[in-house]
Structure 1
């Protein structure tokens, strides 16, 4: 491998932009009346846009899972008869929605579930719900919106992939005291899927104990999906599941409820989260046909070579795959005799997993994206001033050259989120140095591999815009970019109605919106002389939580 450290030619507001940089127009997707926040997901070469909505307005309330005769609801609701008739006032509707969302966040089997994040596609100037395994019902007057769904990628305008749960179902159970209890459970947790038209196909993992686990990340033009799937249950899961199936050890609860509770854990503070380590997981490629059916599945191992450890050591995950079927991602690697494992960038091809960056001093690192020109981009976790930062690199598979990119400044955490076949990378990076915190304001960036120019996307927008691009999520081969922007928007209640203050003025709040950036072909405007130009300083917001969790998940050390 030819190893070089080349700092990018950073383009700041005080310097001239490269000749290749073109200005962009900003188009906000019209979702203000649909949810609190909207996050861009992806855009393919046909222009199909995928987005994620957070906390949709007007969620359905399932009264089958609410005991209106209980003292709790009798005391909490102001007009219980109106609730029974399905027409609650705003106060009661707000209370019930918060009650259900709290139960959902705690993975409760006793309450209705509402997905905090739901996936939509944007086509013909309108949004269409990506239902995955959701179903319409007469009781709710439509879809349940119960399963949290995040969309990851699409190809050819037809095949949409994402990750979801479900489906959920209501179970009535008579306990030993003769009380009838109503439970709400999911059939499985964390399942990748592909949706073609109205047909959804689950991308099932190799091992389906307790439903198994699979996550998908990318799909290429030949309908090959890159992700990760469970290949074997842990010993603890096998024992716990056996106890659930045994009437004597299960206790006074349905089998499905016992199994659902195995998937979660409760911390000392009472916080409930998904339980980790239930399965051994490995990088998986699913090959699909034009209708979305699975025609072949290939499971890859790790970079651990010791025969006695190879079966269960560490994990691997495929994060992207190009048109040639070459996938990249991460895999565990043994780097010493002390059983220490570190995450390393890996190539998955023809059933074989190989290490991409041989230098142990650069561990841990990961390969996040690959294009059809065999360029790979990823990150290396590097400690700078005792704080872990993500440093972006570009790797050429054809020449083994690797270039590290400094971002907006040397200690800027830089996360590439997508790369197109024009060799343009987009993502998010720290745009300002803030001491005393691990979180910094961020801005969306564009990096041109050929000219080695690193550009703040906000510098390419029209002067005076009220959008601040905090993260670029995807770019297609026409250089159209999907991004998340922060802006001021009116506060709305749970029904989507705009709230006003005592003087009748709208109350504004920081909001994240999904925007499409279209290149104009013209040079960017010089906004430095415009006194009314909004100062664009990058923002830290909830959307970056996903980026931080994603990076944390691929950089793991194990003893």
Structure 2
């Protein structure tokens, strides 16, 4: 049977399009990784794809996720210490790590390029730490890998986990196939050029007490790289007070597990999503020399803790420019007051002696926290702060010039001539002052808000929803014989039970993560797809004919949903026009499959949550 539901385009799409302004001077963009109204946006064998960074040569790095069902820890990151909203993974999607279960990878780094060896902008798997392509179901990977940045010479940076180890479980009578599972570290920074991998270890990896040494592994992450092969990120420099107490327990007679297994249990996220073993974390840089060897440098914390201070203090570097100026955030006592501890945006620059010096980006008392994500070669920092606006916590995009720090940070207006309460976060800025990121697009107070990628031009102050700059063909439209634009109809001829499905093509850019000097933008888009049934292990359920079964609504009809995929946008030809079709009166057949599937529409790519671990 053919499916045609009597539902209008989702309120989410209406909300997104309702804020678009067709009158703009920003460049027109087209999505260039579209193939037959589909996005070439993830690796085979995975569900979701995210583009994280692009260089001057139109080469990008990204991450594919979802070989298995996602867990709360996959979403929230390794001990995530940010206050960002949950991204809406349903309870039935939860898989928790346990020392009693094998470790199965769910994240795979990839590259793509305009002139890619396997095709233009085709995601191509990259092995790190021995991982194998996710489409090879004969191999079970235990290593999660992530790429976050790439420089013009092709040096890529990100993180990796250690490989799974196992030891016989001696707590049961029958130990023939019963093991405990653990690994040497939870995550570690890594750089890669060609086939050469360069681990970026943290300075603190061992716990030493009396005559005993415990290998903890610590943690580190590489978040960005400049064209001088300087890598920015963060690393463990010590252990938290409570973490030390938990390691002491593992060393005590009260512990019945092997020490390595006990330590692993304490490093896994617990039911509340936190880890018992936390680390003192500092912003860090690694200089990769001509021989491919990294030399690490710890950047100063934003405060000097008292000798009896037992707090776990954190600083993280998130971006840097080709002048070696690093940006991120750090714990700091605002205005020197120990009663005003906050995590605020910061930058680190070398002084006359060549040593990095910490600089606070001043924030007012009404701002609870802030972070800087990137800085261009002209010294313009972009970041966001969190504050209550109209009674609700919101994140607002700001820019700051390190050449005139006395001016303070500036909060641009977005879709209005006046400030709004729409949350927004920047991700990247190029040397032309073009900023990309994401912004909310509706003004609901009590409901989750959909998001869209934005382009901001600092020189003109123009702020654009990227969806309003796209050509019609980049949004899922095609022309009929009269030259009128209409949504392309996608037909899925048969599922495992013989049902057919017809639905409207639909593409929405929800986040922009990187922009190069030529204006190429990479990020994430939602694309409409059929929803297929999955079993409790996350595998697609097949019918008698070997084809997957559609997920059905309460009426027994197939439904569609939105899936995140890598997206690449390039400035269109000079005569191209942005699409002016009024989507709000268009009809579609999207229907949510419970609240959790609907929440995917409001979710930002998971990678930034995973990136901000610590």
Q: Work out the CA distance in 1 between the residues paired with 2:164 and 2:426.
A: 35
Cα displacement (A) at 1:222:
1.1
Q: Distance in 2 between matches of 1:531 and 1:514?
A: 23
Distance, in Å, in 2 between the alignment partners of 1:161 and 1:362 is: 36
Q: Structure 1 residues 207, 535: CA separation in 2 closer, same or farther (over 3 Å shift)?
A: farther
TM-score, normalized by length of structure 1?
0.78
Q: How does 1:9-408 map to 2 (within 5 A)?
A: 13-18=20-25, 20-27=26-33, 28-29=39-40, 31=42, 33-56=44-67, 105-122=95-112, 123-124=116-117, 125=119, 126-135=122-131, 144-156=140-152, 158-175=154-171, 177=173, 179-180=175-176, 181-209=178-206, 210-246=216-252, 248-251=253-256, 253-266=257-270, 271=271, 273-275=273-275, 278-290=278-290, 292-294=292-294, 296-305=295-304, 308=307, 314-335=313-334, 339-350=339-350, 351-361=355-365, 363=367, 364-400=369-405, 401=407, 402-408=409-415
Aligned to 1:517: 569
How far 1:448 sits from its partner (Å)? 0.6
**How far, CA to CA, are the matches of 1:531 and 1:344 in structure 2?**
40
Alpha-carbon distance between aligned partners in 1 of 2:43 and 2:322, rounded to the nearest angstrom: 36
Query: Match of 1:423?
Result: 433
Count residues with an aligned counterpart.
Answer: 490
Further displaced range: 380-389 or 505-514: 505-514
Aligned position for 2:525: 485
| CA positional deviation for 1:475 | 1.1
Give the aligned partner of residue 604 of structure 2.
Answer: 543
* Cα distance between partner residues in 2 of 1:229 and 1:450: 36
Indicate how the Cα distance of structure 1 residues 532 and 427 shifts in structure 2: closer, same or farther if over 3 A, else same. Answer: closer
Asked if the contact 1:444–1:457 (Cα under 8 Å) also holds between the matched residues in 2, the reply is yes
Say which SS state the counterpart of residue 468 (structure 2) adopts: helix
Change (3 A) 1:182 1:32: closer
CA separation in 2, counterparts of 1:395 and 1:107?
Answer: 41
Higher mean C-alpha deviation, range 459-468 or range 376-385: 459-468
SS in 1 for 2:158: strand
Q: 1:43 to 1:353 in 2, by over 3 A?
A: same
* TM superposition shift of 1:291: 5.5
Deviation at 1:429, TM superposition (A): 0.1
Kept in 2: contact 1:223–1:290 (CA 8 A): no
Q: Whole-Å Cα distance in 1 between the matches of residues 227 and 50 of structure 2?
A: 24
Provide closer, same or farther for how the CA distance between residues 505 and 310 of structure 1 changes in structure 2, counting only shifts above 3 A: closer
Structure 1 residues 380 and 531: alpha-carbon distance in aligned structure 2, compared to 1, 3 A threshold: closer
Give SS of 2:328's match.
strand
Contact 1:159 1:196 in 2 (8 A): yes
User: Which has the higher mean CA deviation after the structures are superposed, 462-471 or 491-500?
Assistant: 491-500
Residues 327 and 397 of structure 1: CA distance in aligned 2, closer, same or farther (over 3 Å): same
Q: Secondary structure at the match of 2:187?
A: strand
Distance 1:130 1:114 in 2: 18
Partner of 1:78: none
CA separation of 1:153/1:223 partners in 2, compared to 1, >3 Å: closer, same or farther?
Answer: same
Aligned to 2:560: 508
Note if contact 1:48-1:157 (Cα within 8 Å) is conserved in structure 2: no
2:513 to 466, 473, 483: 473
CA shift for structure 1 position 280? 0.9
In 1, distance between residues paired with 2:551 and 2:45?
Answer: 22
CA–CA distance in structure 2, aligned partners of residues 314 and 389 of structure 1: 24
Do 1:463 and 1:533's aligned partners in 2 also have CA atoms closer than 8 Å? no
Q: Distance in 2 between matches of 1:286 and 1:128?
A: 27
Post-superposition shift, 1:258? Answer: 1.0
In 2 relative to 1, CA 286–311 (structure 1 residues): closer, same or farther, beyond 3 Å?
farther
Q: Classify 1:57/1:127 alpha carbon distance in 2 versus 1 (closer, same or farther; 3 Å).
A: farther
Matched residue, 2:492: none
Residue 29 of structure 1: CA displacement?
Answer: 2.2
Q: CA RMSD in A?
A: 3.6
Q: Distance in 2 between matches of 1:533 and 1:527?
A: 15
Assess if the C-alpha contact under 8 Å between 1:314 and 1:341 holds in 2: no
Superimposed CA distance per residue, residues 200-225 of structure 1 (whole angstroms, 9 cap, x where no aligned partner): 22211111031111122111111111
CA distance in 2, matches of 1:427, 1:242: 44
How far the C-alpha of 1:547 sits from its partner, in A, is 5.0
Q: Decide whether the 8 Å contact of 2:318 with 2:374 is kept in 1.
A: yes
TM-score by length of 2: 0.71
Alpha-carbon separation, structure 1, partners of 2:68 and 2:470: 30
Q: Which has the higher strand share?
A: 1
